[in-house]
Amino acid sequence: MKNNTPQDKGKSGLHWRGRLWLEGEEGTFLGYGRVVLLERIREYGSLAQAARSMEMSYKHAWDLLASMNRQAGCRLVETSRGGKSGGGARLTVTGERAITVFWQYHARFQDVLQEMTAKLGEVLCGDPGEEL
């Protein structure tokens, strides 16, 4: 008798996990780290401060942003030059949307992993003769 009820869930304590990123022609377009960078730019209004808060060099943050802009085909962040402090930075509508979209798909992705885990119960150690 087939029985896929949730009673089997976590039988062995095993669960599916995963990482998700959005890839373009250059490689990663948007992953966890880039999304956090965008969120920090929104929080601080400054690429330099956002980078510093993540212990990332300004150059690296700038390169990540340039890579996102190129691959999106439009700007995710508007920057203004402002001398030593590095000027101001604010997210465009596309930048805001990138954050929203990433977390939206990330949530869907986590749901799928949970669904996969719920189905996993019976797959291992079905044969008592194999027990340790």
Q: Under the rule (CB under 8 A), what is the footprint of a copy of itself?
A: 12-25, 29, 69-75, 92-94, 97-98, 101, 105, 108-109, 112, 116, 120, 123-127, 130-132
C-beta of residue 14 within 8 angstroms of C-beta of residue 120: yes
Based on CB atoms, which residue is closest to a copy of itself, 20 or 56?
Answer: 20
Least distance (Å) between residue 83 CB and a copy of itself: 25
Least distance (Å) between residue 121 CB and a copy of itself: 11
DSSP 124: S
Give how far Cα 4 sits from Cα of 1, 11, 14, 117, 123, Å: 10, 13, 16, 12, 11
Based on CB atoms, which residue is closest to a copy of itself, 23 or 63?
Answer: 23
Longest dimension (CA), the chain: 73
Based on CB atoms, which residue is closest to a copy of itself, 48 or 72?
Answer: 72
